[in-house]
Amino acid sequence: MDRTTRTTEDVLRLLDGLFADDSAKWQGFYDDRSRPVPFFVPKPDENLVAHLDQGLIPARGRALDLGCGPGRNALHLAARGFRVDAVDLSAAALDWARERAGEAGLEVRFLHGDAFADELGLGADGPYDLIYDSGCFHHLPPHRRATYLAFLTRHLAPGGRFALTCFAAGPDGMGSELPDAAFYRDRSLHGGLAYTAESLRALFGEHEELSLRRMRDEPADSPHFGERFLWAGLFRRADGRPRPAASAAR
């Protein structure tokens, strides 16, 4: 008889077990590099490039790429002068990313494991100026949103930027629009969760919204990756300084 569930983390891990099959699929997802998977291309996200070029993301600093896959965004950040940590659950993805980094002569610290597990040691050198997530968030079960938000609070520097791409609900979107409870009933994430702009604003409302739009479609010959079925969001964490008091009305 198992009666060991007593803490909040115990409950979260118990719920994680409902989606074990979804988590396991990432271990072999990158084994066949020839598959026509859109994000296998060695191109950075168009929104990441645009935000850097527009100065919405300050140049250089420390960056974390969550769910980095074969490293396309991590390598772009390294090429732009960032000191980059990149983490993924798939060892095969990281092998591929290391090969790409070696070919490009770029230095990235690749880490294998669960970014939200303390033992991975993220943030040992201090908070990050940029946390970038291209397609990780929409593969989290609903109960792990709390973990994700706590992770941002712990690891994003005051004034730092948080950027993500995730499945968009509605016309031309992708991902499941089932209510949260249905995922637990089905014990499946159905390929990933779709989000509306309103739900993203509600979830990340403690941060200042700098940009939230659909990702732009990019043609096959573009140097950048872009698919319209994704949201592209950019948020800024408050810098921690008290805001000046409003002047008294005269």
pLDDT classification of 40: cutoffs 50, 70, 90 = confident
pLDDT classification of 34: cutoffs 50, 70, 90 = confident
User: What values do phi and psi take at 49, rounded to 5?
Assistant: -60, -45
d(CA 78, CA 87): 14
Smallest CA-to-CA distance from 67 within 161, 166, 160 is with 166
The helix (H) or strand (E) run that includes residue 95 is helix 91-104
State residue 122's pLDDT score: 84
∠ CA(167), CA(65), CA(80), 5° rounding? 115
Residue 241 in any domain: the answer is no
- State the pTM of this model: 0.92
Q: Which domain holds residue 200?
A: 8-30+42-115+125-236
Residue 200 in any domain: the answer is yes
User: How many domains is the chain partitioned into structurally?
Assistant: 1
Provide the CATH number for the domain around residue 79. Answer: 3.40.50.150
Contact 232, 47 (CB under 8 A): yes
pLDDT classification of 129: cutoffs 50, 70, 90 = very high
CA distances from 83 to 65, 111, 124, 139 (A): 11, 14, 14, 26
Cβ neighbours for 24, distance < 8 A, ≥ 6 positions apart: none
Residue 247 in any domain: the answer is no
Residue 181 in any domain: the answer is yes
pLDDT digits 0-9 by tens, 164-218: 999 999 999 999 999 999 999 999 999 999 999 999 999 999 999 999 999 999 9
Contact 92, 28 (CB under 8 A): yes
Residue 198 in any domain: the answer is yes
Residue 1 in any domain: the answer is no
